[in-house]
Amino acid sequence: MRIVPELVAELKAYREAGSGEGLLFRTGKDNAMNPSNVHRDIWRPLLKRVGVPARAIYSARHSYASLARTAGEFALNVGQSMGHARSKLVE
């Protein structure tokens, strides 16, 4: 499953800016956000905005794997993108 080019460009620009030690979600002082704050301030509002019932952030990994495999992505690619050493975990 590929990332849309616009997101790739944004992430590259963010990385090249070099702020926040590579953190995607960070506080105003460029520190790592507390996971409970990410859940409260970002995740829950996002789910509400798109009309998805409340669930843990971790469930997005399973949704990603299911959607990628359904779209025809190879198990090896999905497993690697999720940090798994073997594709058997996502077959």
Do 26 and 43 have their domain in common? yes
Pair (3, 17) in one structural domain: yes
Residue 83 in contact with residue 11, Cβ under 8 Å? Answer: no
27 shares its domain with 15: yes
Tell the burial category of 65 from Cβ atoms under 10 Å away from its Cβ (0-12, 13-18, 19+).
Answer: buried
Q: Against a cut of 0.85, is the pTM above it? A: no
Same domain assignment for residues 8 and 42: yes
pLDDT beyond 90 at 21:
no
Statement to judge: residues 48 and 79 lie in one domain: no
Co-location of 26 and 65 in the same domain: no
Residue type at 43 in one-letter notation: W
| Amino acid in position 71 | A
38 and 70 housed in the same domain: no
Count of structural domains, the chain: 2
User: Do residues 50 and 63 share a domain?
Assistant: no
Per-residue pLDDT tens digits for 29-71: 878 888 898 899 889 999 999 999 999 988 888 888 999 999 9
Domain that holds residue 75: 58-91
Same domain, 71 and 50: no
Together in a domain, 29 and 63: no
